[in-house]
Amino acid sequence: MSEHAIRIRDALLAKLHRKYPAGEALTINELGIQQGTVRADVAVVNGILQGFEIKSDADNLMRLPNQIAAYDCVFDKSTLVVGEKYQQEASSYVPAWWGIIVAHTQKNGIKLTKIQTAKRNPRRDAFSIAQLLWKNETIELLKSHGLTGSRLRGDKIELYNTLVETLTLKQLQISVCHTLKSRQYWRDHSQLL
């Protein structure tokens, strides 16, 4: 991540910290989605899953279409945070339900200006949401829904499929949000706001 992108991320995290009272939301830097094939720059878990993709003036937009497709499988709401260089192009890249924030570089830091509000994503995929869980978390969730024996064995893919067959999308989302917020040990940096 470039120095400019880090400054944008820090400004975004500060904004999120002000938005959510202490303990209400979990923010995660570099959350791996779809088995880590894509990393969300910042994710927020607060009853819904929100993703923020940062493209600073030092970045390019070549990977953005693939990132958008992955975000749309997982997040209830997604926002593209761009430097001034990409302000004009941003809306042509993202779907209508994505939010757009422009990061303006000023003498005293980064000023974030919302130019499009994120709306509910119609393309979420239950299997991709299930993949946010670790194997042991998936097993515990299945147990809590009455599954036993051979239904709790197998590789992660089999367990995710069982989870998707067992829970509705809404139940899955609520359970995944609760599990992520309760997780004690993160591989990546996370912070409870």
- Find out whether 156 and 119 touch, Cβ atoms under 8 Å: no
Long-range CB pairs of 87-94 (<8 Å, 24+ gap) are 87/115, 89/61, 90/115, 91/116, 93/61, 93/64, 93/65, 93/68, 94/68
- Find out whether 81 and 112 touch, Cβ atoms under 8 Å: yes
All domains of the chain in start order, with CATH? 3-122 (3.40.1350), 126-185 (no CATH)
pTM of the model: 0.91
Q: What is the pLDDT along the chain (193 residues), one digit of tens a residue?
A: 788 899 999 999 999 999 987 778 899 999 999 988 999 999 999 989 999 999 999 998 999 999 999 999 999 999 999 999 999 898 899 999 999 999 999 988 999 999 999 999 999 999 999 999 999 999 999 999 998 888 888 899 999 999 999 999 999 999 999 999 988 776 554 444 4
Q: Which two tokens stand for residue 20?
A: 């959510």
